[in-house]
A = this chain, B = another copy of it.
Amino acid sequence: MRGGFATTLMAFAVAIAAAVARAEDPLPSWNDGAAKQAIVRFVKETTEKGSAKFVPPEERIATFDQDGTLWVEHPMYTQVIYCFDWVKTLAERRPELKSIEPFKTVLSDDREAIAKLSTPDLEKIVAVGVSGMSVDDFRLDVDKWITTAKHPRWGRLYTDLVYQPMLEVMRFFRANGYRTYFVTGGGQDFVRAYAEQVYGVPPEQVVGSAGETKFGYNKAGRPFLTKEPRLLLLDDHAGKPEGIHLMIGRRPRAAFGNSTGDRQMLEYTGAGDGARLMMLVLHDDAEREYAYGPAQGLPDTKVGTFTQALYDEAKQRGWIVISMKKDWKRIFAFEQ
């Protein structure tokens, strides 16, 4: 019995030690390596008083691309799937769409043809999917869709498919006085519908592609805003630093992306003085998620392209490439 007690005590002590170690590790879903070390070092160096690289709290801004950086973007961007579903609903009221491209293709359910739709096609679908709706109705519609629609591969809500290691990075930054911003090519109003609940990012910290809205009054004289088709900001490529200037007015200290659309945001971030952290997620794990580049010989893709030129620029400028396969212990919270 005594041996048994000692063993129990030892096991208990080990369990406590492990729990303490976990509690002390802000990034438990990361394998120890250059990427994890760079994040921990950057946060430590920029927030410890007396550090040569100290950054005042008001300047602690970290920006995150969403699709492919914070959640799954394959086989297609989540917002585009939302719009496809919207087109199906719309076609019930407007059957003429069934014979007009690109709607005809969307309604065909022909996955190969859908995968070949061009970016202007997708933009047209997104614009039709939202314009004319009130901002409040759009919000309700996204709320309903995002809490019911499921990803074809995992059969789970899209919001279950956020990357646990990146959620830990966002929380770690916030715990050290950083404000975490989305800087996404996705629609600002779409992302705002779930960003606070899923990522802890409030609406005023969502920079995204944004269309015009139009102020007007309903029959009772109550003012409301309607979504209009004209795009004010296409928040991708050069639009990302432009959107950051428009919406934040400060240069980020850290920026995270995963594709050529994030290149200019990382360049702009890196062009500032003092400590800066730039990181790119590389999708090299077909087994647990997807593998695409075409950098490093990975399969080519139209959704979230990570070219070899971007990979080479990253190496040359000292940006850190995160390997999903090697750097992440687990990808989703639902994994054991």
Q: How far is the CA of A222 from the CA of B271 in the complex (A)?
A: 6
Which of B189, B238, B249 interacts with A206 by CB under 8 Å? Answer: B249
A223→B58 contact, CB < 8 A = no
Q: Is A188 an interface residue (CB 8 A)?
A: yes
Closest to A195 in B: B249
- What is the 8 Å Cβ interface bit string for chain A, positions 72-98, against chain B (1 contact, 0 not)? 000000000000000000000000000
Q: Give chain A interface residues in 220-248, CB to chain B under 8 Å.
A: 222-225, 232-233, 238, 241-242, 245-248
A225 — nearest CB in chain B belongs to which residue?
B245
A280 to chain B, nearest CB (A): 17
Across the two chains, which residue of chain B brings its CB closest to A218? B271
A242 to B202, CA, bound (A): 18
Cβ–Cβ < 8 Å partners of A233 in chain B: 232
Number of copies: 2
Residues of B within 8 A of A213 (CB): 242, 245-246
Question: Cβ of A130 < 8 Å from any Cβ of B?
Answer: no
- Decide yes or no whether A156 CB sits under 8 A from chain B: no
Cβ–Cβ contact B203 & A249, under 8 A: yes
Task: Determine the distance from Cα of A212 to Cα of B225 in the docked complex, in whole angstroms.
Answer: 23
Contact B250 A238 (CB under 8 A): no
> Which of B135, B242, B268 is in CB contact (< 8 Å) with A245?
B135
> Which A residues contact B (CB, under 8 angstroms)?
58, 135, 188-189, 192, 202-204, 206, 210, 212-215, 222-225, 232-233, 238, 241-242, 245-250, 264, 267-268, 271
A267–B224 CA distance with the chains assembled, in angstroms: 10
Cα distance A232–B203 when bound, in Å? Answer: 20
With known contacts A215-B268, A233-B232, A225–B250 Cβ distance under 8 A: no
Collect the chain B residues with CB atoms within 8 Å of residue A248's CB: 203-204
The verdict on A246 contacting B224 (CB below 8 Å), with A214-B238, A215-B268 known, is: no
Chain B nearest CB from A131 CB (Å) reads: 15
Q: CB-nearest residue of chain B relative to A240?
A: B215
Chain B residues with CB below 8 A from A202, complex form: 58
For A204, the chain B residues whose CB sits under 8 A away are: 204, 247-250
With contacts A215-B241, A223-B241, A268-B223 known, is A188 near B249, CB below 8 A? yes
Contact B223 A246 (CB under 8 A): no
- The CA of A58 and the CA of B248, in the complex, are separated in Å by 18
